[in-house]
């Protein structure tokens, strides 16, 4: 059973616990936790993959290039992968910096005003594509191409 002064003791213990200054470790942990608040907004979702179409699944891999589409809340990224080259477009068209990241390497390219770009694929897999338009950075999940 509690006594009438338990609330006073609790408030005193709480006051003592929060009276100290915030350590740099606590600040770093708080910043890291805060950075995760928009992770779902910054991750582009896979909207289309030509390797997963019904015809390919029934008949086997096609001879043509692989086409993938990714969507974010305010843009779409369409890419075509063929013979070690990634050709793509950011829609709606805008100037962006594209980075294709492997495990240990990064290949980068700038889009033109229409959002079109070409970048060589790094040899190390899996890959991740990042779009930076100067206001936000958006990334795909890790891909095996």
Question: pLDDT band at residue 139, thresholds of 50, 70 and 90?
Answer: very high
- The C-alpha atoms of residue 133 and residue 118 are separated, in whole angstroms, by 16
Give φ, ψ of 114 to 5 degrees.
-85, -5
pLDDT in the model for residue 40 = 62
Q: How far is CA 37 from the centre of its chain?
A: 13
pLDDT tens digit sequence for 75-100: 999 999 998 999 999 999 999 999 99
Structure tokens at 142: 């890790």
pLDDT in the model for residue 6 = 84
Domain segments of the chain: what residues?
6-38, 44-139
Rg (CA), the chain: 24
DSSP output for 100-115: EE-SS-EEEEE--TTS
ω into 42 cis (within 30 of 0): no
């Amino acid at each position: 059973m509690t006594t009438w002064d338990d609330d006073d003791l609790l408030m005193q213990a709480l006051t003592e616990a929060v009276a100290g200054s915030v350590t740099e470790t606590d600040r770093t942990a708080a910043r890291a936790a805060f950075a995760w608040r928009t992770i779902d907004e910054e991750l582009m979702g896979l909207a289309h993959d030509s390797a997963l179409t019904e015809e390919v699944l029934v008949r086997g891999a096609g001879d043509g290039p692989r086409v993938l589409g990714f969507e974010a809340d305010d843009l779409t990224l369409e890419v075509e992968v063929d013979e070690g080259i990634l050709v793509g477009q950011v829609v709606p068209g805008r100037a962006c910096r594209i980075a294709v990241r492997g495990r240990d390497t990064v290949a980068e390219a700038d889009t033109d005003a229409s959002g079109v770009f070409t970048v060589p694929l790094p040899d190390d897999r899996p890959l991740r594509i990042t779009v930076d338009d100067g206001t936000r950075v958006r990334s795909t999940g890790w891909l095996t191409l």
